[in-house]
Structures are given as structure tokens and as C-alpha cells.
Structure 1
Amino acid sequence: MFKRLCLALALLAALPAQAFETRATAAWVYDVTTHTVLLDKNADTPLPPASMSKLMTLNMLFEALRDGRVTMDTTFAVSTKAREMGGSKMFVEERDRPTVEDLIHGIIINSGNDACVVVAEGLGGTEADFARQMTARAKALGMNNSTFANSSGWPHPDHKMSVHDLGILATRLIEEFPEFYPYFAMTGFDYKNRVPSNAQNRNPLLQLGPDGDWTADGLKTGHTQEAGYGLVGSAVQKDGRRIVFVLTGLASEADRAQEGEQVTNWAFRQFVQKTMVKAGQRVAEAEVWMGNAVKVGLVPQKDVSLLVPALTQDGITAEVSYTGPLTAPVVAGQPVGELVIRVPDMPEHRVPLVAEGDVANGGFRARLTTAAQVLIARFQQEAPTS
């Protein structure tokens, strides 16, 4: 029998947070710490990503480093195609043999289209083959609205990403490759004294410094005439709470800088992180049949922490659901149900619940009692009503 118990959470209750009215064509804001989507505007629409898609080239290179196919000191050849790439560059020439570390700097800081082609040809043989590998890998990682025609984001009708996919990718780079993530906060790299000052890291949030409520530390800007100005950004507060956001389709560099700062302030100041239930805290009890106890506590195994709007009133509801009564034996830690917490205008939060302790078989007396309870319940259901 499916059981549903409504609970009163005397912790916090919330008014809806004021929505962020972005000027971006598409936007996605994600609280990494609590796995909460805060803003979704056209987030799954495939759009030209410009240089923001270089993050996928970096992902492929980081995976090659992790798998041992290359090291930071591995050198790559530079083709004429790479050297002749237009747009943003790290200014490699055919005689150069840049290391993997040079190329990581060149892609992140200089947004080098030439560096991307060097990596693509070094890992994939040809840029076309590498682009096909990028597309297949993106699909495997759950980025279903991404198709790559090249390694750099150079305009092409078949080169598209959604801002949601870019957010998934940014979160992956932060969480899966912490040893490489500090490169995204670097602002200057001059390969062999060839790189002009205007070819340095264009992420406007990196220039704000660490003195405010939060510190920005990544990830990538993008701009083409078709895509407009875009930014994949991430920032972290002193308590460790982190957000990732993606904006695209803005009209100017100034708009990108202002919108990036404003959306970060909004995400950190309109929402607060609260621990709703502690790990091991009993939130309900489930009935147990044929055991040496008639009930067992239901508890979460981890602290239940989620975001709520900063302004609070009545509104949060919580509910426990499980299929029961449970049948003994029950083992401590056994999954038995879930806690569902609903905050107005926020995603539903579902938390697995486990048995708080063991309930052993109760022997003959418990089985006899349970059989009697079943018979009484059946009789009550079948008895005619007057």
C-alpha cells in the first residue's frame, strides 16, 4: 500500500524570488552546490556558441591528459591551416612545437583559434574528425543540443550549442578536472612575445577582484556577429557556494560585463542556502509487519540542503512517501521511501529516505498479530455500509 505523509516544516517558508529579467537571447543559471536551476531562458535552443564552444575542445584535451594519452609536456605540430586561422590567436607558426600546457593557456586566455586547430589535429588527426568526436562525446555526456563542425567556434551553420549544454560542460570542467580549473582564472599569456595586449582573457568578471561577496574564476567568453556577445561564467562565495551561468546574444562587450555581474549578484543575493533536515534526523515513521517492532524511523543519509528565496513567508511544504507497511526484516540504511520538499517557484526537491535501524523478524507472536490485523482490515473493507 502506498503511503503518503504530509509534514509541516517549521524551518523556513518562502516567497517567490524576483525573476532576473535578462537582456540575453538565451540564459541558464545553475547553483552547483545545491544542484538547483535558478534561471532558464531558451536554454535548450541550439544557437551559435562562438568561442564558448572552445570549452568542449578543452574537455577533450583534459580527458586525454587524464587518460595518459598526452602529458603537459607533450608537444604538438602546427599546420599551415592552424597558422592561417583568423580571429583570436595565440600566434603559433609552423616551426613551433607548443606544449599541451602552452595550448591550454592559448585557448583559455588568448581564445586562440589557431591553438584549437593544433589540438584538434594533434588528438584527432584532422579537425573534421575531431569535430565528429566532440559531437559524439557531447551526446555521451548528456549534451543533446550540441553539434560541432570545428574545434574553435568559427562560424558554421552546423556548429550549435544550447546554453544548457554549455552549463553542463562548464560544471563538468569544474567538478571533474579541479587540477586544471585554475587556468580559467588566469588573465595573461604571451606565447614567445607575440601576443598583443588585446588578445588576453576577455572575461570581464575576472577583473573585479576577490574583495566583494564573491569571486569569479572562469570560464569563457564568445563573440561573433551571428552569436552576439556571450559568457560562460562561474563564481564562488567565501562559504563555498558556487554558481555557473551562461549568457548569449548580448549586444556589446559592455552589456556582457554588466549582465554577467548583475546575474551573479542576483543568484547569490536573492537566494540563501539552508539545511532543512540533518543527516540521520527522523522525519517520519513507517509501519512494519511481522517484525520485533511495529515501526521504524525514516531518515536521510545526508544533510538536506537547498536554496530558498531570501524573503520568507509561509509556503514550503514537505511530504514523505513510501510503500508500506514494510515487511520484516528491515535493515538499517535500507532505502524505503523519499522526502519531497516543495518551495514556491523552485524545482521540486526529492531526497531518498532509509530505515533508521534494524527490525528483525518477530517470530510466531508477531506473525499471528499481523495476520489478525490483515483479517480485520479485510473485514472492514468488505463489511456492508448502512
Structure 2
Amino acid sequence: MKRFLPFVIVAALLFPTFSHPVSAAEGQSAELATKARSAVLIERDTGAVLFEKNSQQPLPPASMTKIMTMILIMDALDKGKITLNEKVRASEYAASMGGSQIFLEPGEEMTVNDMLKGIAIGSGNDASVAMAEHLAGSEKAFVTMMNKKAKQLGLKNTHFANPTGLPVKDHYSTAYDMAMMAKELLKYDKITNYTGKYEDYLRQNTDKKFWLVNTNRLVKFYQGVDGVKTGFTGEAKYCLTATAKKGNMRVIAVVFGAETPKERNTQVTQMLDYAFNQYQTTPLYKRNALIVKASVSKGDQKKVNVVTSEPISILTKKGASTKDVTTEVKMNQDLKAPLQKGEEVGMLIIKKKGQVVSQSPLVSQGNVKEASWWHLFKRTMGMFNHSS
């Protein structure tokens, strides 16, 4: 049985603490999100909350639900479970989805790459269900995966009932939880190749060529915006989880319940402006940066590369010093095979003047299989012969 770090440390990882000067209270005096039911503004790398309004209030997320759908797709791609070029067949059920769609026909096949375009750019409900069935075997099984991932991310006010966001009972999230989902999705650099495109085409070189236009108009009209997902239903009103990057800094702004698309976009724009005007980030590590080589017992290899699971930065007010920053590595005790690629094996703690400012999971860079008894026997004999 694996032994892990104390619970209090794991909890701190999921709910980071931040040092001066990045508390949400500082943003409350700003006139932001006045026409939204709820909103939140965070810096991506640290997860620091720069502004919030009713950010823990459960509300219908509409098609912002597809952020979690895309997380599971990107995770499967990252772990080699699927490829961008493999074909996905649309079932009759997937093709029957209403609302936003790319008009899949029953039995039609599209690549994962094109399905991702259909979800990220066109908000296709049919594409979302087709991918759900492809990954999990059924929509119901995929929803179980969605809720399991939400728990892993520490999202306490989110529950999914479908992969699309179409109105249904017991389907809700919050502005804060949605920001954390976007934070997770943006770990995968290639996702913005989809969410950041304003227009593209499906079924090219056929007589059914289909034009996609991004439902997130800020991709075209706000410099630096390259995602993530809009949402609208009669109950949810106009919603948007947006991300923008300028220089070294990436921020995420979430708005629930605006009355019009214009109000939604205006409020998100104001939140993004506020973040870039008031704060700055200093990058420390890119995703997949090698931190340490750790010993693994009973594995087919003795050591595994331990790498960062996400980009890691220091966030400060503009003009503030970034000196006196130190890092500390804490590994889970007694690492034993088997280990899966991406499995959490430790934590990187970032400190400024000795005070913890953020914490981030460290993961295994690759798979470590459990060694056979013969492999272990030969290893033991080799050690014995060497010592003699």
C-alpha cells in the first residue's frame, strides 16, 4: 500500500494559499461583473483569485460544461489512449442531440481532431456525446468520469449529468469551480490550437463542407484571448469562461448569468483589463520540467523522472520584487511500481521570504511497470555479487 503525504498538505495543494499581495479582497473595490449573477478572475499558474462575486454559488453552466469534456479528451490524448487521427463513429443517439451541433449523421466518422474542433469552436453537442461514447463506451460512463475528475480537482460545488450542458436536473457548477477546470484544461498547451481559433472548417473537400465560427467572439476582438468556452440556455443566460495571455501572464475570467452576449463580453473584457493592469507573473517552470529523479521500489526500472504537472509562476502586484523565492520538493513516501504516466508522486512548494505562496503537484513522467520476480532476483544477486 502506498503511503501519502499528510492530508493537510494534500488539501493545501487543492486549495492553494497565497502571500501578499494577491487576495481577492483587493479586487472587490473595482467595478467589475456588476451585471453578472456570479464571476471570478484568477491567474492561471498560481490559481490566485484576483476578483470574485458570488463565486461559490451553484448555477447551471450550460455549454461551459464542455470544458470538463475537453479535459478528459486531452488527458486521453496526453496518455496515448487515443490519437488525433483516429476515427470516431457517431451513434444514432449522439447524432440526435439538439442545440448547438455540427450535424453529425448516424454512422458518420470523424477524426478526434475534427471532433475537438466541433466541440471547442462550434460547441457541438453531438460531437461531445460522440467523444464521450468513444472514450467511455457510453454517455453515462463518461459522466461518471467527469464527476470523478471534478472530485480529483477538489471541486465541491460541481456535479455533471451530461457532457454537453443541455438543461437537465442535478447539473451545476460555480464560477470558481469553472475557473479551476479551465486552469486544468490549459495545462495542455495544444488545447488553445482549438479554443483559440476564430473559424475553421469540417468535412473539407466534400459537398458537405461545414463552416465553424467560434462562439467566443473575444478570440477575435480581444488581443491575447485564446479560449475557453461560452455557454447559453434560457435558464443559465449568457456565460463565458475566457482566458487571455499577455507576456508571461495568463488569466482566466468567468461570468455566469449575463442578460446579453454584449454584457457578457464587456464584463469579461473589464476583468481581463483589470488583471493585466494590476498584476504581473514571473515564470519559474514550464510544464513537464524535470525536477528530480526518484527511486521506485519493485519496478522494472529503479528510478523515474519526476516532472511538473503544469506551468509554475510567481504572482505579484505590478512593480513588486520577486526576490527571495525558493522551492522545496516533497515526495510521496515509498514510491512503488506500478506507476502510471501523469500519476501524482509529490509536490513542489514555492516560497517567498520563507512563506508558502503556492503548491503544485509533481507527477511521473512515464510508466514504471512492476518487475517480475526473476527481474528482482537478478537485481538482488547483482547487488550481492557487487558487494562481495
Offset from partner CA, 1:300-326 (integer Å, 9 cap, x none): xxx99543378x9xxxxx9xxxxxxxx
Are the equivalent residues in 1 in contact too, given 2:65–2:165 (CA < 8 A)?
yes
Per the normalisation by structure 1, the TM-score is 0.65
1:190 — aligned with what?
Answer: 201
Question: Structure 2 vs 1, CA of residues 160 and 274 (structure 1 numbering), >3 Å: closer, same or farther?
Answer: closer
2:37 — aligned with what?
Answer: 25
1:143 — aligned with what?
Answer: 155
Query: What is the alpha-carbon distance in structure 2 between the residues aligned to residue 257 and residue 116 of structure 1?
Result: 25
1:230 — aligned with what?
Answer: 239
The structure 2 residue matched to 1:95, chosen from 86, 104, 107, is: 107
2:170 — aligned with what?
Answer: 158
Question: Structure 2 vs 1, CA of residues 101 and 338 (structure 1 numbering), >3 Å: closer, same or farther?
Answer: closer
Are the equivalent residues in 1 in contact too, given 2:32–2:267 (CA < 8 A)?
no
Tell me how large the CA RMSD over aligned residues is.
Answer: 3.1
The structure 1 residue matched to 2:256, chosen from 248, 253, 257, is: 248
SS of alignment partner, residue 190 of structure 1: strand
1:38 — aligned with what?
Answer: 50
Offset from partner CA, 1:220-256 (integer Å, 9 cap, x none): 100001001011101111x211111111100011111
The structure 2 residue matched to 1:82, chosen from 94, 97, 100, is: 94
Greater relative CO (CA pairs within 8 A, separation 6+): 1
**Quick check: 136-145 or 46-55, which moved more?**
136-145
* Residue 189 of structure 2 corresponds to residue 178 of structure 1: yes
1:357 — aligned with what?
Answer: none
SS of alignment partner, residue 245 of structure 2: strand
Query: What is the alpha-carbon distance in structure 1 between the residues aligned to residue 280 and residue 124 of structure 2?
Result: 38
SS of alignment partner, residue 55 of structure 1: helix
Which AA in structure 2 matches 1:59?
I
Which AA in structure 1 matches 2:276?
F
Are the equivalent residues in 1 in contact too, given 2:63–2:231 (CA < 8 A)?
yes
Question: Structure 2 vs 1, CA of residues 304 and 31 (structure 1 numbering), >3 Å: closer, same or farther?
Answer: closer
Are the equivalent residues in 1 in contact too, given 2:133–2:142 (CA < 8 A)?
yes
Query: What is the alpha-carbon distance in structure 2 between the residues aligned to residue 230 and residue 168 of structure 1?
Result: 16
SS of alignment partner, residue 47 of structure 1: coil
2:181 — aligned with what?
Answer: 169
1:202 — aligned with what?
Answer: 215
SS of alignment partner, residue 227 of structure 2: strand
Alignment of 1:311-326 (within 5 A): none
The structure 2 residue matched to 1:272, chosen from 257, 279, 302, is: 279
Query: What is the alpha-carbon distance in structure 2 between the residues aligned to residue 65 and residue 306 of structure 1?
Result: 30
Offset from partner CA, 1:251-283 (integer Å, 9 cap, x none): 0111112112111112212x13388xxxxxxxx
Offset from partner CA, 1:168-196 (integer Å, 9 cap, x none): 11111112x11333211112233226576
Gaps of 5+ in 1: 1-11, 276-302, 313-317, 319-334, 342-348, 353-386
Question: Structure 2 vs 1, CA of residues 209 and 272 (structure 1 numbering), >3 Å: closer, same or farther?
Answer: closer
Offset from partner CA, 1:335-361 (integer Å, 9 cap, x none): 9x97478xxxxxxx7489xxxxxxxxx
Query: What is the alpha-carbon distance in structure 2 between the residues aligned to residue 351 and residue 116 of structure 1?
Result: 34
Query: What is the alpha-carbon distance in structure 1 between the residues aligned to residue 281 and residue 202 of structure 2?
Result: 46
The structure 2 residue matched to 1:263, chosen from 237, 247, 271, is: 271
Query: What is the alpha-carbon distance in structure 2 between the residues aligned to residue 216 and residue 171 of structure 1?
Result: 14
Are the equivalent residues in 2 in contact too, given 1:188–1:201 (CA < 8 A)?
yes
Are the equivalent residues in 2 in contact too, given 1:340–1:350 (CA < 8 A)?
no
Q: Give 1:33 deviation, angstroms.
A: 4.6
Which AA in structure 2 matches 1:151?
P
Question: Structure 2 vs 1, CA of residues 305 and 179 (structure 1 numbering), >3 Å: closer, same or farther?
Answer: closer
Query: What is the alpha-carbon distance in structure 2 between the residues aligned to residue 244 and residue 261 of structure 1?
Result: 11
Offset from partner CA, 1:283-312 (integer Å, 9 cap, x none): xxxxxxxxxxxxxxxxxxxx99543378x9
Which AA in structure 2 matches 1:161?
S
Question: Structure 2 vs 1, CA of residues 208 and 84 (structure 1 numbering), >3 Å: closer, same or farther?
Answer: same
Gaps of 5+ in 2: 1-20, 283-311, 325-348, 360-388
Are the equivalent residues in 2 in contact too, given 1:146–1:165 (CA < 8 A)?
yes
Are the equivalent residues in 2 in contact too, given 1:90–1:195 (CA < 8 A)?
no
Query: What is the alpha-carbon distance in structure 1 between the residues aligned to residue 109 and residue 134 of structure 2?
Result: 11
2:386 — aligned with what?
Answer: none
Query: What is the alpha-carbon distance in structure 2 between the residues aligned to residue 195 and residue 251 of structure 1?
Result: 33
Which structure has the larger Rg? 1
1:365 — aligned with what?
Answer: none
**Quick check: 137-146 or 101-110, which moved more?**
137-146
Are the equivalent residues in 2 in contact too, given 1:92–1:114 (CA < 8 A)?
yes
The structure 2 residue matched to 1:51, chosen from 50, 63, 76, is: 63
Q: Give every structure 1 segment of 4 or more consecutive aligned residues whose post-TM-superposition deviation is greater than 3 Å.
A: 15-18, 193-197, 303-306, 337-341, 349-352
